[in-house]
A and B are shown apart, each in its own frame.
Chain A
Amino acid sequence: MLASAIPTLVFYLLAAISLTLAWSVVTGRRILRAAVSLMGVLAASAGLYLLLDSPFLAGVQVLVYVGGIVVLLVFAVMLTRTTELLEDHPTRGRQIIGGAVATGFFLLSYNMMTADAFVGRTLSPLPKNDVAAIGRALLDTGENGYALPFEVVSLLLLAAMIGGIVIARKPAAAAKPEAFHG
């Protein structure tokens, strides 16, 4: 009895935490505080992965998202700090458009979520050692394998790394464009 009650409680707790923090990510005045809230949302998502019996994905989530991406975003905030954007107020018109689009999307997808295909489904069992199974799937060159996408992603990461360095580094002194104070 208690064993099935606890995951339910944890689900609703994590849902409440991630929705509250997600709202503060998009509406928080201070952008640095929004980054901390984003960290909380992503950590709560790691908890959701644990609830779905995917501890490996939870670990990847914490390592890459919470440990890597959020730190990068914090650096981006600190390197591009402007006084005019310290208080990030959207105009009323943008709020209305954004709210309409987001609500419209939610209602549209809610309409599909209640379709028959999604009702009455239960959790399926996972393969015994799912980390090994994920590893085999990533390197499988067969019909259902992911060897090619895996290589493409490694190429993408390399390209992103080189591109990041090239874009962000200071231009050579001779080719330096006039700074535009707009």
Chain B
Amino acid sequence: MADFLTAHAPTLTHWLVLTSALFSIGLYGMLTRRNAVGVLMSLELCLNAAAVNFVLFNRYLAPTAQGGAERLDGAVMTIFVIAVAAAEVVVGMAIFVAMYAERRTVDVTRLDALKD
């Protein structure tokens, strides 16, 4: 068991498959959810997968590109992604609450005020 696990340690490709699978699931949710809050949740899945990817590329790829100097740009970008996600949820929630007060629904298929 231990031998098998050691021989199958995750490589960069395994990590990338995991994060892009998470991103794809989020994409699916964004296109199928009817509740606007559900769309926002699916978007969070995508943002989270991208944030993990930044750390991955930092740990696996960037340092050699910098000529051996150890850098943490990926970690810094992840912090920015988390901060932007927080700001986006605040504005999104405010819009949904205002929308609900106005129209009594958050169904994205029925929000067509900009259509005509």
Contacts and interface: CB of A to CB of B under 8 A. Distances in A.
Interface of A: 1-2, 4-5, 7-9, 11-12, 15, 18-19, 22-23, 25-27, 31, 34-35, 38, 41-42, 45, 48-49, 52-54, 56-57, 60-61, 64-65, 68-69, 72-73, 75-77, 79-80, 82, 84-85, 88-90, 94-95, 97-99, 101-103, 105-106, 109-110, 113-114, 117-127, 130, 133-134, 137-138, 144, 146, 149, 153, 156-157, 159-161, 163-168, 170, 177, 179-182
Given A8-B9, A113-B20, A117-B61, 11 more contacts: A1-B3, A5-B2, A19-B22, A42-B44, A54-B75, A105-B23, A120-B11, A134-B79, A167-B95, A167-B98, A180-B103
A52 B8 CA distance: 17
Nearest to A137: B76
B70 A126 contact: yes
B81 to A, nearest CB: 10
24 contacts: A1-B3, A22-B25, A22-B45, A25-B41, A26-B33, A60-B78, A72-B93, A73-B37, A79-B97, A80-B99, A89-B34, A105-B23, A121-B60, A130-B72, A134-B76, A134-B79, A137-B76, A149-B80, A160-B86, A165-B94, A167-B91, A167-B95, A168-B94, A179-B101
Interface residues of B, number: 86
Given A25-B45, A95-B32, A102-B25, A164 B94 contact: yes
A79 B100 contact: yes
B13 A113 contact: yes
B94 A65 contact: no
A130 B78 CA distance: 14
B41 A121 contact: no
Q: Give chain B's interface secondary structure class.
A: helix
A163 B91 contact: yes
A34 B79 contact: no
A57 B93 contact: no
Contact of B107 (A4, A73, A82): A82
A118 B12 contact: yes
A72 B90 contact: yes
